C-alpha cells in the first residue's frame, strides 16, 4: 500500500504572547471566509480555525501526496506554505504596523507530531486561561463541526481532531481535571451577587483589560449581564470588548459618571491609585443608592479612603 505523505502546521497567537485587548486585531471577522482563503493557498488541502476570546489557531494540511518516497522538495514547500499563511493572516485581520513588525516573534508555529501534542494540551485545558476549564474542549468540537460543514477539513484533520477530543475526554474523566473548576471571574461574581445581588437592572462597570478582567467578563457574559468596560486607553477597551463583550467607555467618562454604576469590578495592573477619595467625591457625594466596588488588582488601585463617602462599599 502506498504511503500518504503530508505536512501539518499549527500557527497560533494566544493570550500568552499578546495582551487580550490586542488579540482582537489578530482575529478574523468571518472565520468561514478566513478558512476558505487559507485553503486557497497553493498546496493546502485542509484547514480548521479555532478562534476564541483568548486564542486564534490555524491548522492546515499541505503538500499531500501518495507514494513510497516523499518529494525531496517537501522542506521547501513547507516553508512556502508557512510564509503564505503569515501573509494571508495579515491580509485578513486588522493588524497595526507594530503587530506586523513583530508578527514573526508573536506567532507560535508547531509542525508534525508537535501539532498533536499541542492540541492535546489545549483540549485537556492545560493551555487555557483557567486550567482544566471544559469550555475549550467544547470550542474545539465546534471548530471541527464548522469546518466540516463548509468542507474545509478532510480525512487528516478530522481524524486528528476526533482522536484528540476522544482522548482528552477520557483524560478529563479519569483525572477529574475539569471537575468543579471555578475561574476567578466565577468566584468574584458570586461574591458580588451574594453581597449586592446581580440582575439586569444593575449598572455594572469593569475596569481593566487583562486576564483577571477577562475572567470576570466571561462570567458576566455567561450570566447574560450587560456591562461597561474601561481601561487606560479607549483603544484597549475597544479591543477587549470586541472579543469579550462589554461597552467600551473612556476612563474620563467613568470618573465623571461613576455615580451611575451599582457594581464596579477593578482588575488592573496599574501601580498607582486609580480611584481615590479626591477623584470621585464630587460625583459620589450626592448618590442616593449604594455602590459596591470589588477590587482584584494587585497592588491595590482603589484607595480605602473612598469608603468615607456615603453609600460606597469596597471589598477585595
Nine-digit cell string for 90: 495579515
Nine-digit cell string for 206: 469593569
* 259 contacts 283 by C-beta, under 8 angstroms: yes
Q: Once rounded to an integer, what is the mean pLDDT over residues 101-115?
A: 95
pLDDT of residue 69: 47
Find the range with the poorest average confidence among 1-10, 44-53, 73-82, 230-239.
73-82
* 255 contacts 232 by C-beta, under 8 angstroms: no
DSSP-derived secondary structure letter, 28: -
Radius of gyration (C-alpha) of the chain in whole angstroms: 23
DSSP-based three-state secondary structure for 265: strand
* 242 contacts 217 by C-beta, under 8 angstroms: no
Q: Once rounded to an integer, what is the mean pLDDT over residues 88-101?
A: 94
Domains of the chain, CATH where assigned: 4-175 (3.30.460.30), 184-315 (3.40.50.720)
Q: Once rounded to an integer, what is the mean pLDDT over residues 9-15?
A: 96
What's the pLDDT tens digit per position in 230-265?
998 999 999 999 999 999 999 999 888 888 999 999
Helices (H), the chain: 20-23, 31-39, 74-92, 97-101, 103-106, 113-123, 135-149, 155-175, 184-196, 211-222, 234-244, 251-256, 277-284
Phi, psi at 110, each rounded to 5°: -120, 145
What's the pLDDT tens digit per position in 256-291?
888 899 999 998 878 788 888 888 888 887 777 788
pLDDT of residue 1: 45
Nine-digit cell string for 203: 449598572
What's the pLDDT tens digit per position in 14-62?
999 998 889 999 999 999 999 999 999 999 999 999 999 899 999 999 9
What's the pLDDT tens digit per position in 172-206?
999 988 787 778 889 889 999 988 888 889 999 99
pLDDT of residue 180: 75
Phi, psi at 7, each rounded to 5°: -115, 135
Instruction: Name the pLDDT band for 156 (thresholds 50, 70, 90).
Output: very high
Partnered with residue 302 across adjacent β-strands are: 275
List the end-to-end C-alpha distance of the chain, in Å, as a whole number. Answer: 65
Angle between helices 135-149 and 155-175 (to 10 degrees): 160
pTM: 0.81
Q: Which residue has the cell 499541542?
A: 118
What's the pLDDT tens digit per position in 58-71?
999 998 766 554 45
Partnered with residue 265 across adjacent β-strands are: 206, 294
Amino acid at each position: 500500500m502506498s504511503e500518504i505523505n503530508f505536512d501539518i502546521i499549527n500557527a497560533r497567537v494566544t493570550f500568552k504572547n499578546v495582551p487580550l485587548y490586542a488579540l482582537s486585531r489578530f482575529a478574523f471577522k468571518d472565520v468561514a471566509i478566513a478558512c476558505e482563503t487559507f485553503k486557497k493557498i497553493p498546496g493546502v488541502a485542509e484547514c480548521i480555525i479555532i478562534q476564541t476570546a483568548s486564542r486564534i489557531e490555524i491548522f492546515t494540511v499541505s503538500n499531500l501526496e501518495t507514494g513510497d518516497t516523499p518529494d525531496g522538495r517537501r522542506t521547501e514547500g513547507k516553508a512556502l506554505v508557512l510564509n503564505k499563511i503569515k501573509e494571508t493572516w495579515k491580509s485578513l485581520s486588522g493588524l497595526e504596523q507594530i503587530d506586523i513588525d513583530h508578527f514573526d516573534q508573536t506567532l507560535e508555529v508547531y509542525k508534525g507530531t508537535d501539532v498533536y501534542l499541542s492540541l492535546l494540551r489545549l483540549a485537556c485545558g492545560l493551555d487555557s486561561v483557567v486550567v482544566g476549564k471544559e469550555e475549550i474542549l467544547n470550542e474545539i468540537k465546534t471548530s471541527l463541526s464548522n469546518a466540516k460543514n463548509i468542507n474545509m477539513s478532510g480525512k487528516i484533520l478530522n481524524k486528528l481532531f476526533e482522536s484528540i477530543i476522544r482522548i482528552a475526554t477520557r483524560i478529563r474523566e479519569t483525572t477529574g481535571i475539569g471537575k468543579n473548576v471555578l475561574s476567578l471571574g466565577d468566584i468574584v461574581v458570586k461574591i458580588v451577587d451574594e453581597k449586592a445581588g446581580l440582575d439586569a437592572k444593575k449598572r455594572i462597570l469593569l475596569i481593566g483589560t487583562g486576564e483577571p478582567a477577562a475572567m470576570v467578563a466571561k462570567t458576566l457574559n455567561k450570566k447574560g449581564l450587560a456591562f461597561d468596560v474601561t481601561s487606560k486607553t479607549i483603544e484597549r477597551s475597544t479591543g477587549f470588548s470586541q472579543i469579550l463583550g462589554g461597552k467600551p467607555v473612556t476612563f474620563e467618562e467613568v470618573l465623571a459618571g461613576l455615580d451611575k454604576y451599582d457594581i464596579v469590578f477593578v482588575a488592573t495592573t496599574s501601580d498607582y491609585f486609580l480611584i481615590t477619595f479626591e477623584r470621585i467625591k464630587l460625583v459620589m457625594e450626592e448618590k442616593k443608592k449604594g455602590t459596591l466596588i470589588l477590587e482584584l488588582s494587585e497592588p491595590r488601585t482603589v484607595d480605602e479612603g473612598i469608603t468615607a463617602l456615603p453609600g460606597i462599599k469596597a471589598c477585595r
